[in-house]
Structure 1
Amino acid sequence: MVADLYRRRWRIEDAFNTVKRLLGLSYLWTGSINGIKLQLWATWLFYAVLVDLGDAVADELSLPFDDISLEMIYRGLYHFTTAHQKGKATDPIKYFADPQNRDLGIIKQRRKPNVKLIVAPFPDLQRGSDQFFFNNSLKAS
């Protein structure tokens, strides 16, 4: 439970990182307070729409939301717009969930599992066992 809460804490950090880096909120367009408020509200509103779109794509693919890359959905909006203008796509959710569009990278790649480092003179002989370090069979008397 604590690990799950800690993992969710990073969602806030990821949201701020995405909004600043991807959506350009790290720079303010103007110095007026009204312009700053307008930029903040517009950026966070667009981020909310992006999250909603990502959630809908995750539901369409029957995947957890964490497996969907919001950055790649944002970058894929250009491709959807192009396909929409050519009359090839009408629904962005169906477009991103289509198996033909898997090359957009909407689904995050799985990381390789961590492999334990075996510190032994003959590691191939010890890979299947629980022994990961030198076996000190000769004890000093």
Structure 2
Amino acid sequence: MWTGSINGVKLQVWATWLFYAVLVDLGDAVADELSLPFDRISLEMIYRGLYHFNVAYDKGNAEDPIKYFAAPENQDLGVVKYLRKPVSKLDLSPFPAPS
């Protein structure tokens, strides 16, 4: 929706912040359900997974989005971020020590 009035812009900003707050709250609830820290949960994949939850809800296969995202059969949605390898420190000394 495009608008040039200040009230329209304020409404769009308010709606965006409200949706983000709901998304963060949902991500936090999923993290609690999985007993993981919040930063391991991908909010983007929660947002994308809402479509899949809606389809499952319409078919009668899901009732609660938190349990849906935490279910083992739905881990292919990518809600939980993969653990990355730690970044190795680059040794820039002229004669690096063998590792």
Tell me if TM exceeds 0.5. Answer: yes
Which structure ranks higher in relative contact order (CA pairs < 8 Å, sequence separation ≥ 6)? 2
User: Is residue 114 from structure 1 mapped to residue 76 from structure 2 by the alignment?
Assistant: no
Match of 2:42 in 1: 69
- Which runs of structure 2 are paired with 1:3-82 in the superposition (5 Å)? 29-82=2-55
Using the size of structure 2 for normalisation, the TM-score is: 0.87
Using the size of structure 1 for normalisation, the TM-score is: 0.62
**Two-structure CA RMSD over aligned residues (Å):** 2.0
User: Is residue 132 from structure 1 mapped to residue 98 from structure 2 by the alignment?
Assistant: yes
* Inter-partner Cα distance in structure 2 for 1:114 and 1:66: 18
Unaligned runs of 5+ in 1: 1-27, 119-130, 134-141
Which of structures 1 and 2 has the bigger CA Rg? 1
**Cα offsets for 1:64-112 (capped at 9, x unmatched):** 0000000000000000000000000010000000010000000001112
* Inter-partner Cα distance in structure 2 for 1:55 and 1:102: 16
Structure 1 116/44 Cα, relative in aligned 2: closer, same or farther at 3 Å? closer
* Inter-partner Cα distance in structure 2 for 1:73 and 1:29: 27
**How many residue pairs were aligned?**
95
**Percent identical across equivalent pairs?**
76
Q: CA deviation at 1:34?
A: 1.1
